[in-house]
Amino acid sequence: MFVSLRNWLIVLVVFFVCSDLQAQNCIDKNATKPTRNLYKNLYKLKDNYTIFGHQDALAYGVGWRDIAKRSDVFSVVNDYPGLYGWDITNIELDEEKNIDSIPFTLIKKYIQEGYQRGGVITISWHANNPYTGKNAWDNTPGTLQSILPGNEQHAKYIVWLDRVAVFIKSLKTTTGKPIPILFRPFHELTGNWFWWGKNNSSPTEFMALWKFTQDYLMHTKKIHNLIYVFNTADFSSEADYLSRYPGDDRVDILSFDRYQYEQTNGREAFIQTVDQELSILTNLTTKKNKIAALSETGFESIPDATWFTKNLYPLLAKYPVSHVLVWRNAGYMPSTKKMHFYAPYLGQISADDFKTFYALPKILFEKKLAEKHIYQ
């Protein structure tokens, strides 16, 4: 009986150890050590912390552009975001600048700087329409199908992936080591505004595109510093969220995007919707031993002086959210004739509230994140 009990204890210990190891492993079995360590540490941190991120944080802000070491976030809290968001649109066209007119040489430099200080890097890709030659918002029917293996634009798509691969492989430390990247392709995939959206392809077709893209980058191009982020827009249930999901062996992080659009009625709608979606998502990630994230959010021009502590933070405090990213600070947009920014700048009405948000123990900006040694 003693031997039997001992054997059962051994089995239980092995089970829990193996389960923990499985939960902390990214899907790429050949991932670099810093990439594996990043995923493991994001998994560990998610229950107690949320990393705050900002898109294009180092490249420009409200009233300035291309000034070394500058950031609107830094101007308010004397610290950088813990997460840096960048977009590689136009790399597929072999152009010098991305969709936000940032030279790729500078994006590379900013990524290296952020990583060097201990920050996390995430990359999205508003890939242009390969079927029509227009932008990502041209959702002409048949576009996604045209780049699947055996179809007319597949060769072009391979050329595009080759250019993506060249750029990703160039993202290295000063010692030549690949920088780990949270890669978020085909984002907001349940929306209908991009050519890869749900209205333009079947779930089977979308999953085929995801798998081909991933296999090409991981196996053909031998890229092993990517953590793959699955990202949706609207969803109302687990089944809805998973309707185009390529599988647990294909996804590292489950995420969604959600913005607030109005100040009065919009506040209640935003809080209620994000609360529901985070509940669904974090239940899913618990079942799947994955990581949950709010990959894009914000309130354009932040007209609410307490948006960060009253609207956003209570949602983050309630759920295990690994990271949250607010969108870019483009400033005045002549095309829309209005201000376009999502993080406060010095003197903006939500700046004091943002300082309070910054000081909350659960929220990690770069200084506190660097102390966690997430790549070790």
Q: Is the pLDDT of residue 4 over 90?
A: no
Q: Domains along the chain?
A: 37-370 (3.20.20.80)
pLDDT tens string 336-355: 999 999 999 999 999 999 99
Q: What is the pLDDT of residue 24?
A: 76
- Residue 254, helix vs strand vs coil: strand
Place of tokens 């699947």: 148
Phi-psi region for residue 54, left (φ > 0), alpha (ψ -120 to 50) or beta? Answer: beta
Q: Count Cβ neighbours within 10 Å for each residue of 239-257 and write b for 16 or more, e otherwise.
A: eebbebbbeeeebbbbbbb
- Residue that is written with structure tokens 């209005």 in the block: 338
Q: What is the pLDDT of residue 22?
A: 47
Q: Against a cut of 0.85, is the pTM above it?
A: yes
**What angle is formed at CA 230 by the lines to CA 20 and CA 190, rounded to 5 degrees?**
140
CA gap 181, 85 in Å, rounded: 10
Q: Which two tokens stand for residue 319?
A: 């759920």
Q: Where are the alpha helices (DSSP H) in 65-202?
A: 72-77, 104-116, 143-146, 154-170
Tens of pLDDT, residues 250-293:
999 999 999 999 887 789 999 999 999 999 999 999 999 999 99
The two structure tokens encoding residue 230 = 């699955």
Q: Which of 69, 40, 42, 110 is nearest to 364 (CA)?
A: 42
Question: Coil, helix or strand for 45?
Answer: helix
pLDDT-based confidence at residue 20 (cuts at 50, 70, 90):
very low
Q: What is the mean pLDDT of the chain?
A: 94
Alpha-carbon gap, residue 167 to 176, rounded angstroms:
14
| pLDDT per residue as tens digits for the range 90-139 | 999 999 999 999 999 999 999 999 999 999 999 999 999 999 999 999 99
Question: What stretch of H or E contains 178?
Answer: none
> Which alpha helices (DSSP H) does the chain contain, by range?
2-23, 33-45, 72-77, 104-116, 143-146, 154-170, 203-215, 238-241, 265-288, 313-318, 351-359, 366-370
pLDDT for the residue numbered 6: 52
